[in-house]
Structure 1
Amino acid sequence: MATMTATNVRDVGPKDIQTFNNNAPTRIDLGNIADVPYYVEKRYVRAVDNGDEFQYEEVPVEEFYDDDKEDTLDALIRNVKDQQRESQVVTTSASATVPRGSLTTQPEAVDDFVRNFLVRMSMKKTMQQFQIEWHNLSSAGRIKTNECGYLPDVVKHNEELSEKMRLLESEVDRYRKSAEKAREEFVKMKKERDYHRQHHNRIAQEKNNLVTFVKRLKSHLSTFEPQLDELKSKYDGAMREKMVYKLEKEKLQNELNALKLGSSTTLQNSTEGESGPTQIKLRELRLKEEKKKQAMTNEQRRLTGSTDSTHESNPRDSDFPMDTGNNPYLNRFAEDAFHRSTLTLAKEIEAHDGPISCAAIHPRKHVAVTVSDDRSWKMWAIPEGDMIMKGEGHSDWVSGIDFHPSGNKMATCSGDTTIKIWDFSQKKCVHTFTNHLLPVWSVNFHSCGDFIASASQDKTVRLWDLNSLRCRTVMRGHQDSVHSAELLMFSNIILSSSVDKTLMLWDARTGLAEHTFIGHVNPCNQATFNLRGDTVASCDSKGIVKLWDVRTVKSIVTLDFGPYSANSVSFHPTGQLLTAASSDRTIKLYNIASEQLIPLSSHHDEVQYVKFDLKGQYMISTGRDRTLRVWS
């Protein structure tokens, strides 16, 4: 350790002492005073860098929470003093091991002590007078240095003790304030701890009560599960029998009508030109049949709960085609799986100025039509990407579109609550349906071309007649907005999906719901049939896609494409491939036979719609990135 001892700078004699008055310095002769050497002393003190000087003890957390005894102020002060004493002992023991150099202390002279005192007290006049008197007495030899030349050590020691005492008193006051503040904080934290303890205990009790209640409910519900399963199986069997009886009834009714028609024609020919009682009886029979038909119509109106005039007879109303169960498109395809290698991006078309919500494919030509939030629709040649035609007329975003089976007409729906019919030969909108109360989400043509099914936010599905230009049936049953409505090809069955998390099958002729598919836990965005009509695919807002068996009304496959929303689904005509449009900017391809999932990174934003053409040659997709993409 580096040390420094006192060194003699120079010997200062009595003749070197000067006094100062107000005008100029005066030299005083102190020759009679014995020569006394004066020393200037320097001291360097370096702190001992010893790692054992301070000891840190970890305070257990439990002491602050489990000790309920409050520490008094005296105890806190006593703890602080003990810690200081321990630190001093450690410092002393550490410093004792290090050798130090010896320092020689020169006692302070009496006159220097007085001068320093006067300077410290700013007594300049007294200091000047003292200088004069001191040096006069020194020159006269009246001051003896051996008696009053040096200050006794006890005075200096007392002064140092007084200064140290003042410092210690100030430290004690500071520690007392700190201890009081710490005590207040400690009391505050204890109160907060007690509050949170009570709150935790209360929550824990409530949780235990809820757990017990849930267990009782589960045990109670488990007793009803066998009964529910039995009732559900009975209900499904009854609904199947009802459908079978209904079909048989319709078949027998058609045969009866044919027999009545043949018998009436025979009677009419045999009694032609006669005005006897036979002709009168035939007229009465016809009137009874007409009254009976009218009564059946009124009964259907009562069952559907319709309050509008949609069931009023109109001579221009279209007749529903008979369900023969024959689909001519089924004979076009072999039962081969659809391979990923044959599906690649063929064309990207910048179609609209806003997000594209839906698209439709012409039934016979390589033509596609897109609708957008920019309130317009555009027709494109596929796969060249040339625009053929454009239409505007809606006052709000256009949400859905579908081609007439002949390909000469088209229907669009919009957020302005209207459905417009466009005729390509006349190049204009030929009619607008306005019965919906809220935005319309989708439209779909019947395979006969005389009816349109629409789904709306007003919780209804409506069937429109293109010949009488009126709403034939209003189907009410969903509890929330209906997002899609699709007619099964060559059939009178309508499939709808809704925000109420259900799918429903409707009979378009009566407007009655035949089946309800329950299984989604999120709002359904769309549902569609495969070409055979025996399987339904649906998607919801969390990316869950389900495949349903129409005959058993049960889910057969559940696919999780989440967490992003699945906005649209479409079957390949062979029924072996399912595609889904996702909000994560990809198209999900799922091979049903091999259970293989193949995502396609396609759009730059959410994919809104996907659709295969009826021949299975290509697929189109649209998205919020305003593009139409063709995959082949």
Structure 2
Amino acid sequence: MLKPLPQLPKKLNDSSNNLEQENKKASYYIQEHSFNDDDVEESEEFLEYDTIPLNEFEDLEDIDEDEDLEKAIRNNNEQTFFGAEVTKNDDPVVEIAQKPEVIDDFIRNFLCSKGLVKSLDAFQNEWYEMQHKGKLSPEDVSLVPDVYQRNQDLAEVLKKSRIEVENYKKIANNARATYDKLRKERDFHRMHHKRVVQEKNKLIQDIRRLKTHYENYEPTLKILQHKYEISMKEKMLTKLERDRLASKIVGLENSGATKQSNVAASVKSSKQQKTKKNILEKNNTQLQQPFQQKESSFPVEDRQNPYRSPGYQESIQPTKIEKLKLIQTIKAHELTISAINFHPKKMILATVSDDKTWKMFAFPSGELIMSGEGHKDWISNCDFHPRGTHLATSSGDHTVKIWDFTKGLASLTLSDHTQPVWSCGFHDTGDFLISGSMDHTAKLWDLQTGKCRQTLRGHADSVNQVGFQPYTNTIFTGSSDKTISFWDSRTGLVNQTFYGHLNSINDVVFNNFGEKFATCDADGVVKFWDIRKSSVELESINFGPYPVNKINFDPSGNILGVAGNDGLVKLYNTVEKSKSKNLDYNNGNSLQGLIFDKTGEFLVICSSDCTFKIFQA
């Protein structure tokens, strides 16, 4: 059994005297003790055994079996000191300690690091010579003092720290630049936000002021509306009283005529006719001559189209689009010009506008000839009577008006539509008029009676364009439901429907020969069709992405003009299947109308800048 003593023994002797002296100085001594089998069995019952990992015995493989006492004591101390940590940690972390340098190695490493090769050679020669002669003391060959080693470690740490400081400075500079940039952006957005808030507050104040301002008009409008209704009632009562008195006068004259001679009767009858004529002129709300009071009848269906006469098509040359030049720009209205049209017999151009007026100009001089007012809302379209004596205008006030040039007044107002009217067009005989409205219907009007002859129902959305196929009794309608329908004007039934557009149809136009027609829609797509063939399109061209508002053929039918919201006049040759140059003189203002004159020499466009422009080839 081993017991610790104050000092470890340096040497063991066999003699007892030396053993006692050495034991006083030794750290351990050996005491003999004998064990019986019973003692061993009893002691084993109270012993606790710990499991020793197998890897602890791997280091003991190279230990000699015949170890001396000093080695046994050292092994026992190591197991006692490190045993607890080994049992607690299954996988101990091995730490590698740096071995301190001796003085001569320290000097050599220093000289090598500084590149002092000659000094290193001289030092080694002298050092080995002194070491060989034994002139070196034990202090000279001992380890380098800790302070020098510590200084060397601190120098390396300082060097690394300086590098890290430089890196941190760069990171800090980048962070500072990023911070300055973000701060500037923050200031900019803050200023922008303040400006938006100020504008918002200003708009809110303006809206409140306008609401207050318009609230003051509400009572006035109600009073005016009430006065207007009272005036209309009084007007109707006055008309009825006037008619009653007129009929009474006529009855008195008739009764007096029986008592007089035939001559006096004839004189009175002439006065009676004059009186009746005056009454009819005052109360007439229908169109005057050349229209009559009886219903009109449709002409023969297969009548001759003058544009299809032999030699006519060869005599008309296509418009020379490469020579078209702008010759005049005329401001005609105060608001957008919505449509233009040529007089059928004279060089006169008619324009209608959102300012509720229509005007006629001498062409191409641009001198104002006549203007008219009477609609209560914007005017959408216009068309001349085939004889050139009247002008039809459609409006957002749900009406179509027929204007008599001799009187400068509306001689007939057609008001059966319940929504704004987009389009109107005369029949080639001049006895009928077709109109299309936002109320999803088209109406056929008999101008001799001033009444609706047929109401064409079938479209699922607004009817944007209407007209007659040239020199036929067939009506065409283009609608926002993406279809074009052809109707029998006698029965009011659909003969044929054309499908193919993917958006609202804005215009439908025939060439003069009445065989082919073109359509355009809000996607900027233009399609060509042949009425004689099936309802399959002949050709489709995309002039988008802006909507196409108006298209028109030149007199030859070979050139199609396209006007859209992009402000460009696009010309397409239907024979060569090619696009020609674009005319850009509108400064980006949307085009609302386009038309060629009957000779094909002039092209006229109108736009939202309140002007119309004349191009000459």
**What is the TM-score normalised by the length of structure 2?**
0.52
Does the alignment pair 1:479 with 2:457? no
CA displacement at 1:100 relative to structure 2: 12
Does the alignment pair 1:419 with 2:388? no
Structural mapping, 1:187-198, within 5 Å: none
Listed one character per residue, the Cα deviations across residues 427-471 of structure 1 (whole Å, up to 9, x for unaligned) are: 111121111011100110111111111111111111111110011
Secondary structure at 1:320 match in 2: coil
Secondary structure at 1:554 match in 2: coil
Preserved CA contact (<8 Å) 1:333 1:574: no
Aligned pair partner of 1:600 in 583, 590, 596: 583
**Residues of 2 paired with 1:504 and 1:620: CA distance?**
29
1:469 corresponds to which letter in structure 2? Answer: G
Specify the alignment match of 1:428 in structure 2.
409
CA displacement at 1:315 relative to structure 2: 7.0
**Residues of 1 paired with 2:409 and 2:299: CA distance?**
29
Specify the alignment match of 2:356 in structure 1.
375
Secondary structure at 2:322 match in 1: helix
Listed one character per residue, the Cα deviations across residues 327-350 of structure 1 (whole Å, up to 9, x for unaligned) are: 123447433652323433232111
Specify the alignment match of 1:563 in structure 2.
545
Preserved CA contact (<8 Å) 1:411 1:443: yes
Specify the alignment match of 1:321 in structure 2.
299
**Residues of 2 paired with 1:489 and 1:371: CA distance?**
23
**Residues of 1 paired with 2:421 and 2:543: CA distance?**
27
CA displacement at 1:557 relative to structure 2: 1.2
Specify the alignment match of 1:591 in structure 2.
573
Mark the runs of 5 or more structure 2 residues left unpaired by the alignment.
1-92, 94-109, 117-144, 158-291
**Residues of 1 paired with 2:482 and 2:113: CA distance?**
85
Aligned pair partner of 1:400 in 381, 396, 399: 381
**Residues of 2 paired with 1:98 and 1:499: CA distance?**
92
Structural mapping, 1:134-533, within 5 Å: 316-331=294-309, 333-335=312-314, 338=318, 339-533=320-514
Secondary structure at 1:321 match in 2: coil
Listed one character per residue, the Cα deviations across residues 152-204 of structure 1 (whole Å, up to 9, x for unaligned) are: x999x99xx9xx9xxxxxxxxxxxxxxxxxxxxxxxxxxxxxxxxxxxxxxxx
CA displacement at 1:97 relative to structure 2: 10
Bigger Cα displacement from structure 2, 613-622 vs 548-557 = 613-622
**Residues of 2 paired with 1:354 and 1:582: CA distance?**
18
**Residues of 1 paired with 2:484 and 2:111: CA distance?**
91
**Residues of 2 paired with 1:341 and 1:586: CA distance?**
15
Preserved CA contact (<8 Å) 1:564 1:582: yes
Secondary structure at 1:417 match in 2: coil
Preserved CA contact (<8 Å) 1:495 1:528: no
Aligned pair partner of 2:600 in 616, 621, 630: 616
**Residues of 2 paired with 1:412 and 1:354: CA distance?**
17
Specify the alignment match of 1:70 in structure 2.
none
**Residues of 2 paired with 1:615 and 1:468: CA distance?**
35
Bigger Cα displacement from structure 2, 596-605 vs 572-581 = 596-605
Preserved CA contact (<8 Å) 2:301 2:472: yes
2:294 corresponds to which letter in structure 1? Answer: R
Listed one character per residue, the Cα deviations across residues 94-128 of structure 1 (whole Å, up to 9, x for unaligned) are: x9998599xxxxxxxxxxxxxxxxxxxxxxxxxxx
Secondary structure at 1:490 match in 2: coil
**Residues of 1 paired with 2:114 and 2:431: CA distance?**
114
Listed one character per residue, the Cα deviations across residues 251-304 of structure 1 (whole Å, up to 9, x for unaligned) are: xxxxxxxxxxxxxxxxxxxxxxxxxxxxxxxxxxxxxxxxxxxxxxxxxxxxxx
Equivalenced residue count is 345
Listed one character per residue, the Cα deviations across residues 72-111 of structure 1 (whole Å, up to 9, x for unaligned) are: xxxxxx9xxxxxxxxxxxxxxxx9998599xxxxxxxxxx
**Residues of 1 paired with 2:357 and 2:333: CA distance?**
8
Mark the runs of 5 or more structure 1 residues left unpaired by the alignment.
1-77, 79-94, 102-152, 165-313
Preserved CA contact (<8 Å) 2:403 2:410: yes
Does the alignment pair 1:580 with 2:558? no
> Structure 2 vs 1, CA of residues 375 and 98 (structure 1 numbering), >3 Å: closer, same or farther?
farther
CA displacement at 1:569 relative to structure 2: 1.0
**Residues of 2 paired with 1:464 and 1:560: CA distance?**
36
**Residues of 2 paired with 1:365 and 1:98: CA distance?**
111
**Residues of 1 paired with 2:478 and 2:614: CA distance?**
27
CA displacement at 1:615 relative to structure 2: 3.5
**Residues of 2 paired with 1:361 and 1:462: CA distance?**
24
Does the alignment pair 1:630 with 2:609? no
Secondary structure at 1:435 match in 2: coil
Q: Which has the larger radius of gyration?
A: 2
CA displacement at 1:631 relative to structure 2: 2.2
**Residues of 1 paired with 2:360 and 2:295: CA distance?**
31
> Structure 2 vs 1, CA of residues 436 and 100 (structure 1 numbering), >3 Å: closer, same or farther?
farther
CA displacement at 1:515 relative to structure 2: 0.4
2:313 corresponds to which letter in structure 1? Answer: A
Preserved CA contact (<8 Å) 2:307 2:513: no
**Residues of 1 paired with 2:113 and 2:428: CA distance?**
107
**Residues of 1 paired with 2:432 and 2:330: CA distance?**
32
**Residues of 1 paired with 2:467 and 2:460: CA distance?**
18
**Residues of 1 paired with 2:334 and 2:461: CA distance?**
31
Give the share of equivalent positions with the same residue, in percent: 40
CA displacement at 1:596 relative to structure 2: 2.3
> Structure 2 vs 1, CA of residues 426 and 520 (structure 1 numbering), >3 Å: closer, same or farther?
same
**Residues of 2 paired with 1:435 and 1:586: CA distance?**
37
Secondary structure at 2:583 match in 1: strand
> Structure 2 vs 1, CA of residues 547 and 426 (structure 1 numbering), >3 Å: closer, same or farther?
same
Preserved CA contact (<8 Å) 2:293 2:448: no
1:616 corresponds to which letter in structure 2? Answer: G
> Structure 2 vs 1, CA of residues 315 and 418 (structure 1 numbering), >3 Å: closer, same or farther?
closer
Listed one character per residue, the Cα deviations across residues 488-537 of structure 1 (whole Å, up to 9, x for unaligned) are: 23211111111111101111111111000111111110101111111110
> Structure 2 vs 1, CA of residues 626 and 322 (structure 1 numbering), >3 Å: closer, same or farther?
same
**What is the TM-score normalised by the length of structure 1?**
0.50
**Aligned residues: CA RMSD:** 3.3
Preserved CA contact (<8 Å) 1:346 1:383: no
1:492 corresponds to which letter in structure 2? Answer: N
> Structure 2 vs 1, CA of residues 333 and 96 (structure 1 numbering), >3 Å: closer, same or farther?
farther
